Amino acid sequence: MKYLINHWQGGHSLARAFWINSIPVIALLLFINTLLETINNPETILIYARFYSLLMVTAYVVIVPWQIVGTVRTLIRHTKERKKVIFSIFIIIFVLLELTVFSRMLFLSQQKLKDSIYMSFSSYEKGGYEISIDSSHDNAILVKGKFNRGISRELERVLGEHPLTKTITFASRGGLGFEGKKMFSIIKANGLNTFVADYCFSACVFAFIGGNERQLSSTALLGFHQSSKTFTNRANTKEELSEKLYEAIRFFKQQGIDKRFVMKYFKTPPDELWYSSNKELLKSGVITGILNK
């Protein structure tokens, strides 16, 4: 603590303030920020948001001010004492550059920081779903209700209790997209079929397309739209939309679904639903068959 206070008061040598208290600290902050940018796992988004918020707030409220103020105070003292003039000029340029870089980073990440802080104080909705044996099909499990936190884990549990399951049936208006994608992975890994008798919207579709055989009743509806933000109501930027579109194309491509279909439904905003004809669903590879109801 005494060392930290000494830097803040400008009591260290100019070399120590720069080479030990500035360069390594800045390099570490930039490295952690870059590392966080590479993490894109929806399953751990809440942990990511909290860590990102903590890092940014700590960096801009504590670390960067401590580092810059201490370095400037040291620089002023050394300048008054007429020591290391050339080195002092170099550090002045460095501090100005550092202020520019961190100001730009804060400006570019301000919305992400707001979203992360909002996420950090939010909580996933739990419950609101039911996973049970579907007596209308042989060896089938029915997934009904909202795709809230924990639904994919519950599906794994029920599958463990019923290893002869062949088909997952759905009746859901959607929910958390990452839960739908986790269910997709579970269904695909177990080689299960999927079926919808009435409706399957939004995140439910992600789970549905994980099936080996994907069937609908003749009156069922699949509802599609753009991915929405999990915790905020802020509209996606053009860059975010482009990234989400390519992510959706890659996701649906795993099951051989035509990217033109994805591009078509992706025009629908998150608060609306788009429905396709059964003929188009078959042609695009979204479903493999239709059962007369």
CB-count burial class (<10 Å; 0-12, 13-18, 19+) for 210: buried
When divided into structural domains, the chain yields a total of: 2
Residue 96 sits in the same domain as residue 161: no
Residue 188 sits in the same domain as residue 152: yes
- Domain-terminating residue out of 86, 120, 154: 120
Q: At what angle do helices 177-189 and 151-161 cross, to 10 degrees?
A: 20
Residue 112 sits in the same domain as residue 218: no
Residue 114 sits in the same domain as residue 142: no
Residue 97 sits in the same domain as residue 235: no
Classify the C-alpha dihedral 75-77-79-81 as positive or negative. Answer: negative
- Domain-terminating residue out of 83, 98, 120: 120
Q: Which range among 98-112, 151-165, 260-274 shows the weakest confidence by mean pLDDT?
A: 98-112
Classify the C-alpha dihedral 68-74-75-76 as positive or negative. Answer: positive
Residue 112 sits in the same domain as residue 47: yes
- Domain-terminating residue out of 120, 154, 177: 120
- What is the extent of the structural domain holding 234? 129-291
Mean pLDDT of the region 77-98: 79
Candidate ranges 38-42, 64-68, 123-127, 146-150; pick with highest mean pLDDT: 64-68
Residue 72 sits in the same domain as residue 145: no
Residue 176 sits in the same domain as residue 104: no
Q: Residue 174 sits in a domain of what CATH number?
A: 3.90.226.10
More confident residue, 109 or 291: 291
User: Phi and psi dihedrals of 281, rounded to 5?
Assistant: -65, -40
Residue 57 sits in the same domain as residue 184: no
What pLDDT, in 10s, does the model give residues 14-29? 888 888 988 898 888 8
What pLDDT, in 10s, does the model give residues 184-206? 999 999 999 999 999 999 999 99
Residue 8 sits in the same domain as residue 35: yes
Residue whose entry in the numeric block shows the structure tokens 């030990």: 20
Residue 188 sits in the same domain as residue 71: no
What pLDDT, in 10s, does the model give residues 234-243? 566 777 788 8
Residue 162 sits in the same domain as residue 86: no
Count of residues in the chain: 293
Q: Is the pLDDT reported for residue 36 higher than 80?
A: no
